[in-house]
Amino acid sequence: MISEFTAAINQISSERGIEAEEVFRALEQAIATAYQKEYGVESEVFVEMDRDSGDYQVFTKKTVVEGKPADPTEISLAEAQKMQPTLGVGDIVEIEMPVEGFSRIAAQIAKQTILHGVREAEKSAIMAEYSDKVGEVISGMMQRMQGGNAVFEIGKALAYMPKEEQIANEFYRAGERYKLYLKDIDESQGLIVSRADAGLLRGLFRMEVPEVVDGIIEIKAIAREAGSRSKVAVRSTEEGVDPIGACVGQRGIRIANIMSELGVEKIDIIEWREDIEEFIEKALSPAQVESVSLKEDGETAEVIVPEDQLSLAIGKDGQNVRLAFKLTGVKLDIVGRGEDGKLIVREEKELENEEDSGDEVVDKVDESSETESASELSDCTLRKLQKMGVDLEKAKSMSIEELMELKGVGKVTAKKIYDAFH
């Protein structure tokens, strides 16, 4: 028959998700600590507990010495041999300690130590259970907000989502379940989860698109502005498989399930291309692109789009081009081409902000500016010439081709300077 004591220990271990032996060890350590504090025992104390009845014995260890002991960790040879005649100098003897009158204070100390030991064992169990799940999407129930952190219940564990890992426009309601990206396990905080990390989006695709799990569809890159919009670049590893169609699903059911989990966040699925210029063109979807020219540094590219696609390519507050940059790793200069073939890109005040960037930029074309006089050249253009050591007299004598050789001067800017003097 299992005793009531053993049954209680088994219940604790079951509820906490830890081994019963862990509870027994915590209990033994608690009693030993309490005993030392209650009786002021300076030598080492250890406890042996019966796993069935719960009865326990308290022992201390002392070293056998010749003559009078120098400290509480020693015992004289004469005293030791009274307990065990075969003991000699240098031997370690275990001495049972009295447990009568073990006070309520000691019991309270034991209780607190037990709780601490159980919490530590529980934390170790959680670490062991979830250590191989870091980087995966898990489900959790929102419990409460605590100092800006959202606290979730995940099984028997608690997970914390710091403010920077939350979606800014998302409100977390207690009692509701959410998909969470397990980002890390911190020894002090425990499980750290995220709703803003790109890993959540990758995990949701794995959950909804079997071809991703099977390796038929590969997610090559993700650019995400959580709660607003994301771009996901995918490719097929098998001929005849449409990667975008597989991710969207029949009648859009797969992508609809993913988006419903993320609320108002929009998702653009694009086909990844090995050719970087082709990839940039795809990344700027839904805008139509005329051409992409990668510069020699491999870090920037000029993208020409029809004039009516310029706003779409850049996106609201620059979001589309920003996400395309995150996706491709290439800085993009978006240039519009008007119906007359002239290039359009930025207002003069925007150009001034990029004056020191070292990138070639193209001024917005204005029909009336093509005949402006030298005195009407923009302050930005004049400062640019001055910075490169070119005064107005020298600029006046230069051809368009010579002006274009100056760093930061594009074809349209060169023509404006030339026309101002001729």
Nearest to 158 by CA among 169, 147, 166, 150: 150
pLDDT bucket at 113, cuts 50 / 70 / 90: low
Lowest mean pLDDT among 135-149, 348-362, 382-396: 348-362
More confident residue, 294 or 12: 294
* pTM, entire model: 0.60
**Per-residue b or e along 63-88, where b marks 16 or more CB atoms closer than 10 Å to that residue's CB:** bbbeeeeeeeebbbbeebeeeeeebe
What does DSSP assign to residue 225? Answer: E
pLDDT digits (tens, 9 = 90+) for 3-17: 666 777 777 777 667
pLDDT of residue 57: 85
pLDDT surpasses 90 at 143: yes
Q: What is the DSSP string of 241-310?
A: --HHHHHH-GGGHHHHHHHHHSTT-EEEEEE--SSHHHHHHHHTTTS--SEEEE-TTSSEEEEEEEGGGH
pLDDT of residue 345: 57
- With 0-12 / 13-18 / 19 or more C-beta atoms within 10 angstroms meaning exposed / middle / buried, residue 157 is buried
pLDDT bucket at 1, cuts 50 / 70 / 90: very low
Contacts of 131 (CB under 8 A, 6+ apart): 185
Tokens 């509701």 -> residue: 176
Tokens 């960037």 -> residue: 357
pLDDT of residue 198: 94
Nearest to 97 by CA among 55, 54, 45, 53: 45
Lowest mean pLDDT among 210-219, 234-243, 249-258, 394-403: 394-403
More confident residue, 14 or 367: 14
**pLDDT, mean of residues 343-351:** 49
Backbone angles phi, psi at 281, to 5 degrees: -60, -45
Q: What is the overall mean pLDDT for the chain?
A: 82
pLDDT digits (tens, 9 = 90+) for 38-74: 888 888 888 888 888 777 888 988 889 988 888 888 8
Share above pLDDT 70 across residues of the chain, in percent, rounded to a whole number: 84
Domains and CATH numbers, the chain: 4-128 (3.30.1480.10), 134-196 (2.40.50.140), 273-341 (3.30.300.20), 346-422 (no CATH)
**pLDDT, mean of residues 190-208:** 94
Q: Extract the runs of DSSP E, i.e. beta strands, from 370-412.
A: none
pLDDT surpasses 50 at 339: yes
pLDDT of residue 157: 85
More confident residue, 89 or 404: 89
CA–CA gap between residue 169 and residue 160 (Å, rounded): 18
